[in-house]
Amino acid sequence: MGSFADFHARSINDRDAFWAEQAKLVDWKVQPQQICDYSNPPFAKWFVGGQTNLCHNAVDRHLVDRADQPALIFVSTETDQEKTYTFRDLHAEVQRMAAILQDLGVVKGDRVLIYMPMIAEAAFAMLACVRLGAIHSVVFGGFASHSLATRIEDASPKVIISADAGSRGGKGVPYKPLLDEAINLSAHKPANVIMVDRKLAAFTPVASRDVDYATERAKHMDTVVPCEWVDATHSSYTLYTSGTTGKPKGVQRDTGGYTVALAASMPHIFQGKPGGTFFCTSDIGWVVGHSYIIYGPLIGGMATIMYEGLPIRPDGGIWWSLVEKYKVNVMFSAPTAIRVLKKQDPALLTKYDLSSLQALFLAGEPLDEPTAKWISEGLNGKAIIDNYWQTETGWPILSICNGVEKAPSKFGSPGKAIYGYNVKLVDDQTGEELTGANQKGVLTIEGPLPPGNLQTIWGDDERFVKTYWKTVPNKLVYSTFDWAVRDEDGYFFILGRTDDVINVAGHRLGTREIEESIASHPNVAEVAVVGVADALKGQVAMAFAVLKDPSKAGTPADALKHEGEIMKLVDEQLGAVARPARVRFVALLPKTRSGKLLRRAIQAVCEARDPGDLTTMDDPGALQQIKDLVTG
Ligand code: AMP
């Protein structure tokens, strides 16, 4: 083990040599000719000339050493299923799914959209796509038809893979009606839909479009579908995420860089060893699920647990019972989930044998100190490792790399800049780099972004450049849109977003998306949505709306009815994840004299903080009305 400071310095100062070494962790059909081509900034091309395949690295390459070891452990406390697939089984299932896709004409470069619950077939689907060189786009199952439609339209998939239903708390949640409605709304129509029928919700297949997965699979029990070797720069997937505008961004990822980045993260960050077990409680609809339910652990030769269900059903010990049963070595979850568990009987933490567990990684939102302390004490001092990253980056930017050099965690901090990331804090006004300790700035990364990060925004290079990149004196930097400070030891503390993105229970949502949905209610004239601090979910969305005809919500009963209608609308269009905690009605919204909505002031008032300088505000009465509502 060497020094982390040296390791990090080498990754920046001797970049190509550093990443050439990491690239040895990956199987290549053709070795890369050039490690990083940054001749056209901010577009970085990694491992140019190399050819590889993500599915080969996640599955096929392990057949030599560990064909009969567990690869995918599917556990559903919703349908009481538990099934372990060895690498050999997974290899067979992925080929069956790939053969079905091939039958439907899917070839390299085609897009395939996956709208599925957390079932093993979703993993087969992702791996089958990358096996063929098709570009998958997984849409979180909690999104409703409108959100899904915008993603279908943007990704223009040839085929969609879906299921009849998900399940929550033991009740089926139909997916198919939302999918049919989304395809109806979308200008792009997929040629085919592969339906996995779990028999949780009856549905009528659409003739000549929908195909039944079980029927097609039965035709391909022994079909061999070789991996399609693709250029390292070939796109492996897109994943949509929210930004400041209503239109979601398709984060586009490459193949070679992503494979190398994940392969390297297993020993250096997670200390995961081949033959071990990784349990990530996220969802495949999010980036954490892509990287650490599916690809990372499998590339690292580990078994991965895919869990469908709630963390507290049948009781709050379910996850720990899985750690005991499957001898989990590395666990990865989100602070919100730990806050949910915190409300359960603490004895559940000591009921199971957790001796296999090395560390619990947490990401997605700020990890508050009381939660970190509670879980650290509950797990008897096991390492609790906060890590900070984004859909765009694909793997952590900040954390503790115990696999390189053991280092202590500091409560409230996700740690230091990880190797490969040339992190700079910059002053948002002057663009000057802030090098002193404890100065607040925007967390940026000097280009080129390391392997595994986004290549661009799907179909919109200009938006990629304009959204994220800024020239500060002598440097081109990528903005994370997060405020941060760095202490004298190099540990960062994240202080919140610089834009209108909020984080509800680790789910990233654009307030504009929610505003657009609410504004589609016939009686809403104008609306502001802000993120407000919440003890359980980190943040919740709060909406303040001006009605076209306020008399229709004149009585408390009518106002409540309107609020219910609006929440239902958001549920139907975007999904329950985006539903505001409250919708309040006001006569006008606080704005500057030039008409800019003062979201920060609204947020401050909702959190009982000082709204700051309001000299540019048009009518102070507007903010007072909100204050009265939230304190009343
Ligand atoms: P997403 O792209 O959905 O993963 O959301 C990324 C955003 O979540 C970041 O820009 C941060 O605002 C927030 N975030 C993620 N991880 C952390 C963390 N460990 N601590 C604080 N904020 C985080």
Name the residue among 119, 137, 81 with its Cα closest to residue 290: 137
Q: Is the peptide bond before 314 cis (omega within 30 degrees of 0)?
A: yes
Query: Whole-angstrom Cα distance, residue 211 to residue 185?
Result: 21
| Residue 371 in contact with ligand 1 by CB distance below 6 A | no
pLDDT at 615 (0 to 100): 80
Of ligand 1's atoms, which has the minimum distance to the CA of residue 286? 3
pLDDT at 130 (0 to 100): 99
Q: How far is CA 241 from the centre of its chain?
A: 8
Residue nearest to atom 21 of ligand 1 (CA): 366
pLDDT at 1 (0 to 100): 65
What letter does residue 450 receive in the DSSP assignment?
Answer: P
CA 389 – ligand 1 centroid, Å:
6
pLDDT at 245 (0 to 100): 73
pLDDT at 585 (0 to 100): 96
C-beta atoms surrounding 215 within 10 Å: 11
Residue nearest to atom 23 of ligand 1 (CA): 365
Dihedral angle of Cα 21, 22, 27, 32, to the nearest 10 degrees? -60
| Residue 399 in contact with ligand 1 by CB distance below 6 A | no
CA 503 – ligand 1 centroid, Å:
8
Spatial neighbors of 303 by CB under 8 A, at least 6 apart, are 69, 70, 71, 72, 73, 84, 276, 277, 278, 297, 326
Q: How far apart are the first and last CA of the chain?
A: 58
505 in Cβ contact with 140 (< 8 Å): no
| Residue 51 in contact with ligand 1 by CB distance below 6 A | no
| Residue 391 in contact with ligand 1 by CB distance below 6 A | yes
Of ligand 1's atoms, which has the minimum distance to the CA of residue 496? 12
Query: Whole-angstrom Cα distance, residue 52 to residue 58?
Result: 11
304: three-class secondary structure by DSSP: strand
| Residue 443 in contact with ligand 1 by CB distance below 6 A | no
pLDDT at 594 (0 to 100): 80
| Residue 283 in contact with ligand 1 by CB distance below 6 A | no
Q: What is the mean pLDDT, run by run of 10 residues, along the chain of 632 residues? A: 92 98 98 98 98 99 98 98 98 99 98 98 99 98 94 98 96 96 98 98 97 98 98 98 84 98 98 98 97 98 98 97 98 96 91 97 93 93 96 98 95 96 95 95 98 98 97 93 96 93 91 92 95 95 96 94 96 94 95 86 94 84 93 83
Answer yes or no: pTM beyond 0.85. yes
Task: Read off the amino acid at residue 240.
Answer: Y
| Residue 452 in contact with ligand 1 by CB distance below 6 A | no
Burial class of residue 610 in the structure, from the number of CB atoms within 10 Å of its CB (0-12 exposed, 13-18 middle, 19+ buried): exposed
pLDDT at 143 (0 to 100): 93
Residue nearest to atom 15 of ligand 1 (CA): 364
Taking CA atoms, 134 is separated from 44, 176, 231, 567, 613, in Å, by: 21, 23, 13, 37, 52
Task: Read off the amino acid at residue 326.
Answer: Y
Of ligand 1's atoms, which has the minimum distance to the CA of residue 287? 4
Residue nearest to atom 13 of ligand 1 (CA): 365
Phi/psi at 154 (5° precision): -75, -40
Angle (CA) 306-311-313 rounded to 5° is 105
What letter does residue 344 receive in the DSSP assignment?
Answer: S
CA 201 – ligand 1 centroid, Å:
35
CA 602 – ligand 1 centroid, Å:
22
C-beta atoms surrounding 220 within 10 Å: 18
| Residue 513 in contact with ligand 1 by CB distance below 6 A | no
| Residue 414 in contact with ligand 1 by CB distance below 6 A | yes
Name the residue among 286, 341, 290, 292 with its Cα closest to residue 318: 341
| Residue 484 in contact with ligand 1 by CB distance below 6 A | no
Residue nearest to atom 20 of ligand 1 (CA): 366
Q: Buried (b) or exposed (e) across 131-140, using 16+ Cβ within 10 A?
A: bbbbbbbbbb
